[in-house]
Amino acid sequence: MSDTRRLQVLRAIVEDYVQTQEPVGSRALVERHNLEVSPATIRNDMAFLEAEGLIAAPHTSAGRIPTDQGYRIFVDRISEVRPLSRAERRAMDTLLEAADDHDEMLEQTVRLLAMLTNQVAVLQHPQQSTARIRHIEVLSMGTHKVLVVVILSSGRVEQRMATMAAPLDDESLQRIGQRLVEELHNRSVSALPLPMDQLVGTVEPSLQPAMAIVAHTVETVLEAGRVDRIIMAGTANLARSDRDLGPSIGPILEALEEQVVLLRLLTEMEQDRRGLSVRIGHETSHDSLAETSVVAAEYAIGDGGAAAKLGVVGPTRMDYGSTMSAVRAMARYLSRILSEG
């Protein structure tokens, strides 16, 4: 659709409906927007937009609301995506400075995005199959207990307790850790199973039973880290969208809780030239999310060149411009924080 004025009418309908939650009529458009044409012309334009499937009449209302296709036209023509404001950047600095570790920082990021957008914020937890082993430590936690710590290139620190058949001194545990680092440093997490016989053979016979236990513990840690999951915040914001979602809110909450649908969707979403991915309504390809839109952007994970998604889920009647700005800016900011870390 190339007619400039009709695009202006569509944009005005989207903006008014997002703001008021009420179907928009021709009189309201004339009163609120400087379209410089008569109400009769506006009605003709609205009739054209309706025939094109870009707006629709809910029930018997005289006003019109945007359809999924109408929102798509509107979103595709948002060319300027603003950066974080000074206040928003300060809020993110404050929250992230308070984070004690990598996982807490990601959780703080999701909470802040939910607060900024008033939507459900979601973050695809970095899949560790793209990460590499940077360091391994084995620490004594008692007579027969040790803590196995694995540090990955993504910045994540994974740890797990193991029970030894016999007590070992700190020097022996340090030797086991050093041998594991020598053999496994820079090894991809996806390269499983580990070469157990080779690892056990790197230490003297008296330490081989302990090496076998620690190596299997490392393998268990790496296997668990390969499973994708979602960090989420702001689900209570959906309750404030009950007028938009109505009975659809239950299936939406179930889809968010299951995570599998959302993980698949985030993985499939490709960024456009603005560095954003937007799926609207039925574009999500899942019935339970048909009344929602998903706005996402990639953030970089560590130094391996891998990426995951950060985004929001909300009703199709959302403030797309503001939401897209917040999502992209937060993703870029998170990438910078992770690369610096």
Q: Measure CA of the first residue to CA of the last residue in the chain; give whole Å.
A: 47
Q: Are residues 181 and 290 in the same domain?
A: no
Cα–Cα distance list, 197 to 148, 216, 231 (Å): 19, 11, 37
Q: Are residues 152 and 216 in the same domain?
A: yes
Per-residue confidence band for 306, with pLDDT thresholds at 50, 70 and 90: low
Mean pLDDT on 258-277: 88
How large a percentage of the chain has pLDDT more than 70?
92
Sign of CA dihedral 100, 106, 111, 116: positive
Pairwise CA distance, residues 2 & 56, whole Å = 20
Q: Are residues 252 and 315 in the same domain?
A: yes
Q: Are residues 162 and 310 in the same domain?
A: no
pLDDT of amino acid 1? 45
How many other CB atoms sit within 10 Å of the CB of residue 27?
13
Per-residue confidence band for 28, with pLDDT thresholds at 50, 70 and 90: confident
Tokens in use for 187?
């090894």
Q: Each residue of 61-92: pLDDT tens digit?
A: 678 999 999 999 999 998 777 777 788 778 77
Mean pLDDT on 332-337: 83
Residue 163 belongs to a domain? yes
Q: What is the edge-to-edge ordering of all strands in the sheet holding 145-152? A: 133-140, 145-152, 157-163
Contact 217, 162 (CB under 8 A): yes
Sign of CA dihedral 57, 61, 62, 63: negative
SS3 category, 306: strand
Domain count, the chain: 3
SS3 category, 38: coil
Residue 56 belongs to a domain? yes
Pairwise CA distance, residues 238 & 252, whole Å = 9
Residue 81 belongs to a domain? no
pLDDT of amino acid 304? 55
Where residue 258 sits, what CATH number does that domain have? Answer: 3.30.450.40
Please, what's the largest Cα pairwise distance for the chain? 92
Mean pLDDT on 215-242: 82
Nearest Cα neighbor of 259 from 80, 118, 96, 120 is: 120
- End residue of a domain, out of 225, 246, 269: 225
Query: Could you tell me which residue, 127 or 215, shows the higher pLDDT?
Result: 215
Q: Are residues 63 and 184 in the same domain?
A: no
Mean pLDDT on 154-174: 89
Angle at 72 between CA 66 and CA 74, to 5 degrees: 75
Q: Each residue of 1-12: pLDDT tens digit?
A: 448 889 999 999
Q: Are residues 123 and 145 in the same domain?
A: no
Paired with 311 in beta bridges are 122, 296
Residue 102 belongs to a domain? yes
pLDDT of amino acid 99? 63
Domain limits for position 200: 129-225
Where residue 41 sits, what CATH number does that domain have? Answer: 1.10.10.10
* Sequence-distant (≥ 6) Cβ neighbours of residue 340 within 8 angstroms: none
Q: Each residue of 270-283: pLDDT tens digit?
A: 999 889 999 999 99
Give buried/exposed letters for 149-167 (b at 16+ CB in 10 A, else e): bbbbbbbbebeeebebeee
Cα–Cα distance list, 337 to 25, 105, 332, 333 (Å): 46, 10, 9, 6
- End residue of a domain, out of 169, 193, 225: 225
Mean pLDDT on 139-162: 88
Q: Are residues 138 and 258 in the same domain?
A: no
Q: Are residues 277 and 154 in the same domain?
A: no
Pairwise CA distance, residues 326 & 179, whole Å = 46
How large a percentage of the chain has pLDDT more than 90?
47
Paired with 149 in beta bridges are 137, 159
What's the mean per-residue pLDDT of the chain?
87
- End residue of a domain, out of 225, 252, 285: 225
114-118, 150-154, 213-217, 309-313: least confidently modelled range: 150-154
pLDDT of amino acid 106? 85
Mean pLDDT on 143-162: 87
